[in-house]
Structure 1
């Protein structure tokens, strides 16, 4: 079966992304590290920079982080901070500046601890997105980020550059969304590993080369579908993953689904489709406002009310027809954990689909329990 990427990084999507960042930096681009999908990458690309995702998913640096941070803190925050303290995160070491955001209390306090390492701008995200003035306030923060980049790197980001960046990102987002839509095929023609690789690639890829790569992937998946080259058995149970970001050591949950012979057909998370699910209005006359409106629609659990998440779940369940929705929550991520109450009710009662809540961290200690629970949930269908 033809792989989606013809390179040396088949099993290492993060190394592919790292190679992209290194290549652009060597060509003169400034590297802007980001911890969240709310960071407006259009502004970074408009400057001629390249975004690099800094969220970490490894258990290895957590003991170092716990020398400073509380033990009962989100593992993603501890892992990210631990890598910085150990100076072993290649993405962070490449950054020229970092953008943060106020999505959760743990991260925004971590930003105070890392600002000594890099120029840092923290975007103040309004968390009641439907309230009057929320969009205007978020535009103010987007503009503040733009001004930070201009002052830090002695450059100017024009409206024309922002519009061009919006067009390029929109084109890319539409292609990524088209790739993820192949998850609706039954039997499956795309694996979750391939979805994850595409999402990871697209974060630091831009321009004609990226568009050509994504179009080639669509052609490959179309050929698989037409030639009946399936990645799962026809009888395989179908699973949609939703909830917190996934990657690194927390991919243990997805691998356990594989071991049960099921097929993961969708990744509804910040390391999956979520950053690419929408587009920004083009030619609006106010590109910063257009960017603000688009990003404020991202359905993260930090928002209240987070009605957008339920709209997305409805679309995903109707399109992908999963037998099971797994709501993956990282320990101490209180927003996603509390929101599972409403998500479970909605998935079971309104969408008529089986549901499993999984709360985990980056360790391997709960593998046996997770395997048993996932197997039991799949058997219930």
Structure 2
């Protein structure tokens, strides 16, 4: 089966912002602001979006993945700090993150030392709440401590927005999250196809829209997306061929300028079939317990189960990788680590050994930042990886 030229494949989400998905996201937030809906800026999935929606606000991920803002940050922060932290701070220092400007409050979390100290430098700009995240999730009392942190977030939201966060409203948002996660799982089913009818750009487009739509809006989107993907399959329109190397990307958040790695994979002839990285698919496999009688604890339990490398031991991440490899059948795993992200960097050794020993798959670690200086090096390493697959056939 030959690859259809990309220009011949109709857009998966065909609207006025087809050429600029960020503008689609911006328009949604602007419309919410104009309707008087408050905005809460987030930096991580450990901040429970269900609670923000239950208070009547809209959660939005803040800017954090551009080389352009790093120099401004390095005037204050150490140059050898994680680029995501530097970029985040640089956006705020240069006043170029619309989402931060639109936020009425900001929620941070203690996932790493660099982030929690960066939050100290911006806390005076917006009402800011830092969630104390226990990093031994299986330890007795860990969930209780996290539930108390989640309860303190409720206090912060109620005080900031002068509104009550009721158990019934939170229960309704739990159902909405589970509904959207099931819809996302329906979309992910297409990633298991060989050849694959979805590009990595489109995976991110759908994920970004999930963040800013309600259940009915997202269901309508998935219905349209599924119909178009069925049409692609019926007409033989795919990305790559049946023999294209199938890649699972794991590791640090891969967005913005870090997408150069995904672009190099595509240009080298590979197709991305799963994104285990923080900015990808992992949170959508979690289900929050419904009708538990204690929705606050149910939200706390679900968020604490997110398998980030800040957790130790992090067996849940290995379990998730096992499930993703079984479902999406990658030929290789590429583990992307941002410079100075020590937790993901150290854990990469365990990830590589697990993938090789349990699944017999090659695993390539790429350590990078948001600059373009290593693009050709990344290209060479990815091409060599794919050539080794050909040699083994």
What range describes the TM-score normalised by the shorter chain of this pair? over 0.9
* Alpha-carbon offset, residue 221 of structure 1: 2.1
* Alpha-carbon offset, residue 72 of structure 1: 0.3
SS of the equivalent of 1:51 reads: strand
SS of the equivalent of 2:59 reads: strand
Question: 2:148 matched to which residue of 1?
Answer: 140
* Alpha-carbon offset, residue 219 of structure 1: 2.7
Could you tell me how far apart the structure 2 residues matched to 1:204 and 1:243 are?
24
Could you tell me how far apart the structure 2 residues matched to 1:81 and 1:211 are?
35
Could you tell me how far apart the structure 1 residues matched to 2:120 and 2:261 are?
32
Question: 2:293 matched to which residue of 1?
Answer: 285
Question: 2:271 matched to which residue of 1?
Answer: 263
Task: Choose the corresponding residue for 1:5, options 10, 13, 35.
Answer: 13
CA deviation digits over 1:60-117, x for unaligned, max 9? 0111000100000000000010010110111111100000000011000000000011
Question: 1:151 matched to which residue of 2?
Answer: 159
Structure 1: any 5+ residue segments left out of the alignment? Answer: none
- Contact between 1:55 and 1:76, CA under 8 Å: does it hold in 2? no
Could you tell me how far apart the structure 2 residues matched to 1:26 and 1:274 are?
32
Task: Choose the corresponding residue for 2:362, options 354, 366, 373.
Answer: 354
Q: Does 1:218 pair with 2:220?
A: no
* Alpha-carbon offset, residue 55 of structure 1: 4.2
SS of the equivalent of 2:273 reads: strand
Q: How does 1:245-264 map to 2 (within 5 A)?
A: 245-264=253-272
SS of the equivalent of 1:60 reads: helix
SS of the equivalent of 1:357 reads: strand
- Contact between 1:300 and 1:309, CA under 8 Å: does it hold in 2? yes
Could you tell me how far apart the structure 1 residues matched to 2:191 and 2:172 are?
30
SS of the equivalent of 2:67 reads: coil
SS of the equivalent of 1:356 reads: strand
* Alpha-carbon offset, residue 261 of structure 1: 1.2
Could you tell me how far apart the structure 2 residues matched to 1:324 and 1:112 are?
40
Could you tell me how far apart the structure 2 residues matched to 1:250 and 1:48 are?
33
Aligned length: 381
Could you tell me how far apart the structure 2 residues matched to 1:145 and 1:218 are?
37
Question: 1:244 matched to which residue of 2?
Answer: 252
Task: Choose the corresponding residue for 2:55, options 47, 64, 67.
Answer: 47
214-223 or 59-68, which deviates more: 214-223
Question: 1:177 matched to which residue of 2?
Answer: 185
SS of the equivalent of 1:214 reads: helix
Question: 1:38 matched to which residue of 2?
Answer: 46
Task: Choose the corresponding residue for 1:188, options 196, 202, 213.
Answer: 196
Could you tell me how far apart the structure 2 residues matched to 1:117 and 1:251 are?
30
CA deviation digits over 1:132-170, x for unaligned, max 9? 011111111111111101001110110010011111111
- Contact between 2:63 and 2:99, CA under 8 Å: does it hold in 1? no
- Contact between 1:32 and 1:96, CA under 8 Å: does it hold in 2? yes
Question: 1:118 matched to which residue of 2?
Answer: 126
Could you tell me how far apart the structure 1 residues matched to 2:19 and 2:175 are?
31
TM-score scaled by length of structure 1: 0.98
TM-score scaled by length of structure 2: 0.95
CA deviation digits over 1:16-43, x for unaligned, max 9? 2222111112111110000001110000
Q: How does 1:47-86 map to 2 (within 5 A)?
A: 47-86=55-94
Question: 2:107 matched to which residue of 1?
Answer: 99
Could you tell me how far apart the structure 2 residues matched to 1:226 and 1:148 are?
51
SS of the equivalent of 2:198 reads: coil
RMSD: 1.2
